[in-house]
Structure 1
Amino acid sequence: MIKKTKMLLNIIDRHKLILDKLEQNGFVTVNDLSQEFDVSVVTIRKDLKLLEERKLLFRSHGRAIPSNPYTTEHHVNIKEKINTKEKNRIAIAAGLTLEPFDSIIIASGTSVIEFARHIKPVEGLTVLTASLNTALILAENTTIDVMQLGGMVRSSSSSVIGPIGEKMLAEFTFTKLFLGVDGIDLDFGLSTTNSMEASLNKEMIKAAQKIIVLADSSKFGKKGFGRICGLEDIDQIITDSGIDEITKNKLIEIGIDVTIV
């Protein structure tokens, strides 16, 4: 049973306590706050609306969370400049997973482009990629057999999407898939901002034996428009130390190998 606050709180005190609870728990609910502060649900909703207008939280379905979970599309040139140090460490760790005679898929996104830059010569390595930038980077290494996936070019990510690529994937089998995503949500799973890219990623998952997600910690708690798969479909996530303990532990409980760099 929730213990009610004995003294009547003014709006400033309520807002401070709401933000404190949000930081501690990761979310707050309208009903719980109403009971604890002994005020009406309408009052709490007004409080949350004011805090949202100040961009201190995000309201969603009778609750509030620290930030907007929905991602928006940005050009690859912009995304490459975000969390560069974290992506660099993730890329180095991803490179260590490669083994002789691996046949791998490298999807699209800035994390996997950075991974391509850190791939060292591995005997018999074959790479199929949807990313135009990745293909150009790897083409400079004569020890790697590089295949460019076909399809319609998506200019914002410099990658291909569409049914041509999906049909091409059905003709091969791969040891590993290195997947970049726009969002990782414990309930919604993996997602991206483009539905056609999500569809292509689903076919990549079907074609690969091991699914490795490369994502910096800013991607957790986020959702993109197109759902790729549930968390139960992936084997490993390589991320940075910004991931919170609750999320990390839940991923491990599911059976995912979480590598933190």
Structure 2
Amino acid sequence: MNNVERHQHIIREVNLKGHISVVELCESLGVSSVTIRKDLQFLEDSGLVYRTHGGVTKQNPYQTDRSVIEKEKLHEAEKRAIAKASANFVTPNDSIIIGSGTTTQFFAREIIPQGHLTVVTSALNVTLELLKHSNVEVIQLGGSVRHTSSSVTGQYAINTLEQFFCSKLFLGVDGIDLEYGISTTSAQEALLNQKMISVAQQVIVLADSSKFSRKSFGKIADFSNIDVIISNEIPSSFQELFDSLGIQTIVCK
């Protein structure tokens, strides 16, 4: 197999799987890791793929900050499906935490509260979605408001969370990386998310398929801190890892 044929094979595999490792490419093509790394460098220089630690992906692995208005228009159908599946986790008379993001905003729209529901949230857009329910008590965290996420961050919000313990945390993320874990574009938001995790009995991550094989500036946590991941599609390499860690996965179309 010549260079062109190898390049075509790599591109096909990346388009099919989203992410593929150097080891997998070496095995499928029967060549050395040195040859594969040269191929990947050529393809990345040509703007066809993005190299990651130990592999290659079809999308930019570094997620940058974008406004909530812009993000709300992306992957709407996927977010709506994830939101509907996530709403099934809300039980009668529940007490939950909802993090920031557009996927969690979609989730808030899908909630049909039974009995009295208490929601602690950092997200202003989530609060606005829940105000239509008379039997939902919303505890809006205070602090500095991030314009891009319509949410608050800072020590005041972290201190307030110390007063609560909730059954579930519904968390949106900007990146999910095999080695880096889950992350968000803001370091301050990551710190607040870490506190949310510490005061929740169950951590449920809501993420569409575009978040996989990406990492952002602020690391939130390792996968050992996650109980459930809900997505419209989970790459096979991630599914294998989640299965080995005992993380429940729900794939909704």
TM-score (norm 2): 0.89
* Per-residue deviation, 1:155: 0.3
Which residue does the alignment assign to 2:90? 98
CA contact (8 A) 1:105 1:128 kept: yes
Pairing 1:67–2:51 present? no
Higher Cα radius of gyration? 1
Give the gaps of 5 or more residues in structure 1.
none
Pairing 1:52–2:44 present? yes
Which residue does the alignment assign to 1:243? 234
Check 1:59–1:96 CA distance in 2 against 1; reply closer, same or farther (3 A cut): closer
TM-score (norm 1): 0.86
| Paired residue type of 1:28 | V
CA distance in structure 2 between the partners assigned to 1:259 and 1:46 by the alignment? 37
Which residue does the alignment assign to 1:177? 169
CA distance in structure 2 between the partners assigned to 1:248 and 1:72 by the alignment? 25
Q: CA RMSD in A?
A: 2.4
CA distance in structure 1 between the partners assigned to 2:62 and 2:145 by the alignment? 24
CA distance in structure 2 between the partners assigned to 1:144 and 1:69 by the alignment? 38
Which residue does the alignment assign to 1:259? 250
Count matched residues: 248
Write the mapping of 1:187-206 to structure 2, written as runs, cut at 5 A: 187-206=179-198
Give the gaps of 5 or more residues in structure 2.
none
Pairing 1:28–2:19 present? no
* Per-residue deviation, 1:37: 5.4
Which residue does the alignment assign to 1:152? 144
Pairing 1:129–2:121 present? yes
CA contact (8 A) 2:22 2:36 kept: no
CA contact (8 A) 2:22 2:37 kept: no
* Per-residue deviation, 1:249: 2.6
CA contact (8 A) 1:152 1:162 kept: yes
After superposition, the C-alpha distances for 1:142-195 in whole angstroms (9 at most, x for unaligned) are 110011101100000000001000000001111111000001112111100110
Check 1:126–1:187 CA distance in 2 against 1; reply closer, same or farther (3 A cut): same
Pairing 1:217–2:193 present? no
